[in-house]
Amino acid sequence: MEELMRVLEAIRESGSISIKDLSKKLGMSEAELMSAVLSLHHRELVELKKEEIKYCRLTDEGREYAERGLPERRVADFISSKGGEVSLSEIRESFGEKLTSIALGWLRKKGWVQFEKGEEPKLKLLRSERGEDEDALKKLLNGELRVEELGENLIEELKKRNLVEVREERIHRVEITEKGKKIKKEELEEITRLTPEIILSGEWKRKKIKRYDIRAPSAEIFPAKIHPYRRIIEEMRKIFLSMGFTEIRGEIVQSSFWNFDALFQPQDHPARDMQDTFYLESESELDEELVKKVKAMHERGGEIESTGWGFPWREELAKKNVLRTHTTAITIKYLADHPDPPIKAFCIDRVYRRETVDSTHLPEFDQLEGVVMEKGMSLSNLFGVLRTFYNLMGFENVRFRPGYFPYTEPSVECEVYVEGIGWIELGGAGIFRKEVTYPLGIKYPVLAWGLGVSRLAMLKLNLKDLRYLYKPDMEWLRRAPICP
């Protein structure tokens, strides 16, 4: 009872306080405190409320601008240092095309400059008073703040510029009631545990017995669980293992030979450019016999009815090491080492491409690759494998549309139907061309597919931003359901 009164007195002093702050004030655990608060709540001495508080913090770009100044501020200061008027070309020369373009848009919007037309366009500085956006960025340098401290409208503007991000936190707050303000200690006393002594003495008749409510809310508990993305990857793995497939792994660093050339991808293909692929300084030694066969296939079609690509094939390009751009490099190498059927293998692993980071693209992501090699395999067998996989992943409607890939013919794109969104493309598939299999000594049809793991995970977890799969957002991780 002493403990209950101590909690009530602490709430009386504050009038309204969060459970977290009350826990610190009294030196009690939140679980222990919640039990006392619920007891007071049932007696109508306090009110228990849930609140959602929004906090904002700087993004990496926002931190850079907070430290160095917004683009429009830096350009405005530059114009001021040049006497209040400067040519557009001089600004571009000093700040670069990208920053100048950003700055000009905001200088116009804020009405800080006037454009002077002529042979050489110039910018005349009209004013450059410090804005609330700059003040907000400076404040956020010290750590995150509540959105209401800075204003919803301002934060929305900064969010549009990708300078801040917002997180929501749910908290329990407890408030004293009028009854709670007036109650005395003796009125709080109640029997919490019936003992033989209390029953025999008849004390239970004179005192109030604590009421137990089985419907009363309890403190939230967040048990340990597997990361939602890892759980989906494990689900995919179990499906293919249950279908009799063998899981294979391979090195992240691959030669261009296995990543591109062995898959009959021409050496002038755009995907092999530096802007699409991470090249390393190291090189790999190649099997001379395989090099001869792949070279012949690329240049003139080898010994089959093919014309190849019809231009010289360079071994020095094939030796260059890359961070693998797809896990097909793993499966094709596995087939080369195991050319005799039957083969059913799959690989789920990370791949790397030079992508601009946004809500649907990352420079590293996961891919699910698989192959089936057996006599008499056809496109209908491929459809059967993939339709079974997607059905087991929870997608009832699956369809295949014609596609194009350099190393499969025929090629198809796999799509699933999602209620409220429509048809979503989740990967490519097909049958390896003879130009791929013949140089490796493979004599039978090979069904092959490469599926996007992260895109499928976004659908399963109802996410709109791919980056959430990798963010250490504890609130989202705690509340993400175990069974979506």
pLDDT reported for residue 242: 95
Angle (deg, nearest 10), helices 2-14 and 19-26: 120
pLDDT reported for residue 334: 93
d(CA 70, CA 105): 12
Confidence check: pLDDT of 16 > 80:
yes
Which tokens sit at 85? 């008027």
Average pLDDT across the chain, whole number: 87
Query: Are 401 and 375 in contact, with CB atoms under 8 Å apart?
Result: no
Domain spanning 60-129, CATH class:
mainly alpha
What would the pLDDT profile of 430-442 be if each residue is shown by its tens digit?
A: 999 999 999 998 9
Which residue's entry shows tokens 């005799």?
340
d(CA 293, CA 289): 7
The domain made up of 229-479 has a fold known as BirA Bifunctional Protein; domain 2 (3.30.930)
Give the angle subtended at the CA of 204 by the CAs of 199 and 209, to the nearest 5°: 125
Confidence check: pLDDT of 484 > 60:
no
**Mean pLDDT across the stretch 119-148?**
89
**Mean pLDDT across the stretch 213-228?**
79
What would the pLDDT profile of 311-342 be if each residue is shown by its tens digit?
A: 889 999 999 999 999 999 999 999 999 988 89
CA nearest neighbour of 298 among 276, 314, 322:
314
Confidence check: pLDDT of 360 > 90:
no
Query: Are 439 and 453 in contact, with CB atoms under 8 Å apart?
Result: no
CB count within 10 Å of CB 137 equals 22
More confident residue, 459 or 344: 344
Q: Judging by beta carbons within 10 Å of its beta carbon (0-12, 13-18, 19+), is residue 123 exposed, middle or buried? A: buried
pLDDT reported for residue 402: 93
d(CA 353, CA 335): 24
d(CA 13, CA 421): 52
Task: Provide the pLDDT confidence category of residue 374 given band limits of 50, 70 and 90.
Answer: very high
Task: Provide the pLDDT confidence category of residue 370 given band limits of 50, 70 and 90.
Answer: very high
Query: Are 298 and 313 in contact, with CB atoms under 8 Å apart?
Result: yes
Task: Provide the pLDDT confidence category of residue 11 given band limits of 50, 70 and 90.
Answer: confident
pLDDT reported for residue 483: 62
Q: Judging by beta carbons within 10 Å of its beta carbon (0-12, 13-18, 19+), is residue 432 exposed, middle or buried? A: buried
Please tell me the least confidently modeled range out of 138-152, 174-188, 276-290.
Answer: 174-188
The domain made up of 2-54+176-209 has a fold known as Arc Repressor Mutant, subunit A (1.10.10)
Which tokens sit at 254? 């691959």
More confident residue, 122 or 479: 122
Q: State the DSSP string of 108-171.
A: HHHT-EEEE-SSS-EEEE---PPPHHHHHHHHHTTS-EEHHHH-HHHHHHHHHTTSEEEEEEEE
pLDDT reported for residue 188: 65
Confidence check: pLDDT of 386 > 70:
yes
Confidence check: pLDDT of 415 > 90:
yes
- Give the Å distances, CA to CA, from 383 to 237, 388, 408, 422, 446: 19, 8, 15, 20, 13
The residues, ordered by sequence, that sit 6+ positions from 183 with a Cβ below 8 Å of its Cβ are 8, 45
Segment (H or E) for 405: strand 398-405
Query: Are 431 and 437 in contact, with CB atoms under 8 Å apart?
Result: no
What's phi and psi for 195, nearest 5 deg?
-120, 165
Query: Are 377 and 447 in contact, with CB atoms under 8 Å apart?
Result: yes
Domain ranges in the chain are: 2-54+176-209, 60-129, 229-479
Across-strand partners of 139?
Answer: none
pLDDT reported for residue 224: 83
Q: How many residues does the chain have?
A: 484
pLDDT reported for residue 388: 95
What would the pLDDT profile of 25-73 be if each residue is shown by its tens digit?
A: 888 888 888 888 888 887 788 888 888 888 899 998 999 999 999 999 9
Query: Are 433 and 294 in contact, with CB atoms under 8 Å apart?
Result: no
Which amino acid is located at 483 in the chain? C
What would the pLDDT profile of 229-262 be if each residue is shown by its tens digit?
A: 999 999 999 999 999 999 999 999 999 999 999 9
Across-strand partners of 348?
Answer: 368
Segment (H or E) for 425: strand 422-432
Q: Residue 210 has what DSSP assignment?
A: P
pLDDT reported for residue 180: 80
Q: Judging by beta carbons within 10 Å of its beta carbon (0-12, 13-18, 19+), is residue 232 exposed, middle or buried? A: buried
Q: Do domains 60-129 and 229-479 have the same CATH topology?
A: no
CB count within 10 Å of CB 429 equals 24
CA nearest neighbour of 188 among 42, 24, 30, 22:
42
